[in-house]
Structure 1
């Protein structure tokens, strides 16, 4: 099954609608049994996938079932294009979604939650610049580590691109944007130049999520860096909101609520990628 149909089915499911086809539809038509109050949602999902929801009941199967049920509006005919022409790829490139935030914000938890809840294939790629035991952003600069970091970032980006070419959604746990935070002594001037380069070694992802929470909450969760350092990291990330087009999510909420807010942003980006013409509000995530 080619991806537009996968996208259409997934969008319906996220809107709380199960795709229940009616048998006997004419070629190129998909007849759906839909609750009357969800007809506009089906129309929106169809157009986002490149299909056309036809008004009325022009399909013989729809007319036959409509004759048995006066509520003819329950049957929607969706015109589905044929298979892709030879030589044209059926799968579109998947989106790249970066998750940012201070330590304790729940980045890894959210990345895992998206992978479990998103109805299309998902791959998670860790993009942390500083390895365990590696020199952190507030430590001195090691020439060997400094030279290795861009190559590590590029290697992970190539891994992500491979997943995206297969149509998978890629969730980046952290991103090179971590190097946009202010450099600290020692060697602050040298660090600023290096961080400027490092933060621009990879192209911008399609969507960047920022998990925002007060420093005392982040410290209570993780027990690292101290309250003041956690709050400073929060302020520094928020200062990048306009420049990087960050989608800020309140991370003080439950993991389920944070995941729901993130999925809503991701689905809006997916529909913007798939839609053929401007449509109404994006389909909300579950």
Structure 2
């Protein structure tokens, strides 16, 4: 166990500390179920129990601090969030649940969660279950989940048995499910050190718990077991990561290293257009054979990448169709230029493109192919092409391979989870560790007539960078949350919401001062179960809550990196932006659809990401 010598409290990894801080900010109860001694560099899952009311905003909260959810079916109420800490090359995993269930397939559900949350106790910056609850949860975890007490867990089990007693709340529930005296028998077994008898005791408890509701228990176990056969996936579509560089730069080595390291679903796709194949000698003698081979590879690789992206995986694409845009890729024949253009159009465009930058001499030393001069010429061609391609990042790949992989992992993860902080060691709100670029995160101010608000509130998926920027704007900035125990809601002149749920918007509407403004950064989602699904829906929500001067702004090109904030009420501004971004963001087909939506006055429905602003009237009471 490591502890802070100043406070005596356990050390907590900065990302895990930010997660706890975000959970505290909701105002809803949560507890760390176990593992408080292993938080500085967690070797396993960080197990957390939260109130069910936290679920609608949970993904946004975790994503805002650099933790990305991986959906895994068949695990009951478990939600898994992963994060990457570059400083220690450490992968973090949070396992968040809303109910307490036991068994290999979470088939034995219990009503214990509300009581554990109600009886929780504070331990420094952590919320923990009450000691008797924590002890019994540990014992039941060993008996029902593990089915035995392994040698490395004997000390933990005996420490829990020393705290637990037969009169505790969970012990009483155990007697109801496992028969009178079950709790006492389990305590005596552990206290006396009869660990060889633990499997038989666990088997009896499992049998008794199943006998209470055999049909429901067995069907739940069967359903969860079947659902686990489905591969884990990222929410929504996956991310396509392409890698470009001359031979010898280490593309394949890097991608296989990423695939082996990433704890989330990945798929490797090779997209080399001109790579050698067993049928080359025959194909090159057939008119159009080489072109046919190239188009077949484009279609095959593009379909594979789209399939894996649809399945919610990170697609690691070795080479991309953009190779056809390199100088010298096309000869003087018209059909070659046409096939290259088709290859770029038909292949799956990468969301993130890594350009590996390696000096020609280094590449020649690594592989011994071509010459150093030719490789250096190709290197310059790739660097020039990077300036023209969307989503490109140039990586220094001349350094040792493990450092290149570390840099690539950071870049890919930052693209997946925009909330990942640039400086993971900086504490939330530590303005001294932040760079001036954070003022760019406050561009939304120019949509309002109040450039220097007296008081600022915020809520939703607000990451540490944006939170720090808000505190630079107003050191007293507060997170918006529902008033509880009769405590008045915060009173703010300006409230910024990022991807809020509807209840959070209603809390913000209650907190904003008369004459004050709400600025909501939102994304379109037709699959949302509740609340507004489009920017037009958010505009109507503002108006239903009595806000005036409601405006919608399109973020071109995205919520995280807008090149422009375009008022959708201005056709001229929208058309001008469409013409500027036609070749980068939309493509011809999407640009035509966007223009059509503008003509029929549905652009607020079609726009994918943007900001909605509204002013609360001076002479109107706050909404209840």
Answer yes or no: same fold by TM over 0.5: yes
Distance 1:226 1:205 in 2: 30
In the other structure, the counterpart of 1:159 is: 304
Pick closer, same or farther for the CA change 1:196–1:182 going to 2, 3 Å.
farther
Pick closer, same or farther for the CA change 1:213–1:188 going to 2, 3 Å.
farther
Any conservation in 2 of the 1:140–1:186 contact (CA below 8 Å)? no
Map 1:211-250 → 2, pairs under 5 A: 211-245=356-390, 246-250=392-396
Is 1:254 aligned to 2:400, yes or no? yes
Distance 1:253 1:154 in 2: 34
CA shift at 1:188, angstroms?
A: 6.8
| SS class of match (1:248) | strand
Map 1:86-235 → 2, pairs under 5 A: 91-132=235-276, 143-183=288-328, 187=332, 191-235=336-380
Which digits, 9 at most, give the CA deviation of each residue in 1:116-174, with x for residues without a partner? 11110111000000121587xxx999621113312321111111222222211110011
Pick closer, same or farther for the CA change 1:196–1:90 going to 2, 3 Å.
closer
Higher relative contact order (CA 8 A, sep 6+): 1
Which digits, 9 at most, give the CA deviation of each residue in 1:209-233, with x for residues without a partner? 0111111111111111211110111
Is 1:20 aligned to 2:46, yes or no? yes
Distance 2:262 2:342 in 1: 33
Pick closer, same or farther for the CA change 1:115–1:224 going to 2, 3 Å.
same
In the other structure, the counterpart of 1:44 is: 65
Any conservation in 2 of the 1:182–1:192 contact (CA below 8 Å)? no
Distance 1:42 1:158 in 2: 29
Is 1:279 aligned to 2:463, yes or no? yes
CA shift at 1:271, angstroms?
A: 1.2
Distance 1:162 1:264 in 2: 25
Please tell me whether Structure 1 or Structure 2 has the larger radius of gyration of its CA atoms.
Answer: 2
**Which structure is higher in strand share?**
2
Any conservation in 2 of the 1:94–1:167 contact (CA below 8 Å)? yes
Any conservation in 1 of the 2:364–2:370 contact (CA below 8 Å)? yes
Which digits, 9 at most, give the CA deviation of each residue in 1:180-236, with x for residues without a partner? 111279647764554344333324211000111111111111111211110111000
CA shift at 1:280, angstroms?
A: 3.8
Q: What TM-score do the two structures reach when normalised by structure 2?
A: 0.33
> RMSD in angstroms over aligned alpha carbons?
4.1
| SS class of match (2:365) | helix
In the other structure, the counterpart of 1:74 is: 126
Any conservation in 2 of the 1:126–1:173 contact (CA below 8 Å)? yes
Any conservation in 1 of the 2:245–2:355 contact (CA below 8 Å)? yes
Where do 4+ consecutive residues of structure 1 move more than 2 Å?
A: 15-23, 25-30, 40-43, 48-51, 59-65, 139-142, 184-201, 276-282
Distance 2:308 2:367 in 1: 31
Which digits, 9 at most, give the CA deviation of each residue in 1:95-131, with x for residues without a partner? 1000110100000001101101111011100000012
Pick closer, same or farther for the CA change 1:233–1:166 going to 2, 3 Å.
same
Q: What TM-score do the two structures reach when normalised by structure 1?
A: 0.68
- The alignment covers a number of residue pairs equal to 236
Unpaired stretches in structure 1, ≥5 consecutive residues: 1-7, 31-39, 52-58, 77-88
| SS class of match (2:120) | helix
Any conservation in 1 of the 2:120–2:127 contact (CA below 8 Å)? no
In the other structure, the counterpart of 2:513 is: none
Any conservation in 2 of the 1:62–1:75 contact (CA below 8 Å)? no
In the other structure, the counterpart of 2:409 is: 263
Map 1:52-63 → 2, pairs under 5 A: 61=117
Unpaired stretches in structure 2, ≥5 consecutive residues: 1-14, 20-39, 56-60, 71-78, 80-114, 129-232, 421-459, 467-624
Pick closer, same or farther for the CA change 1:90–1:257 going to 2, 3 Å.
closer
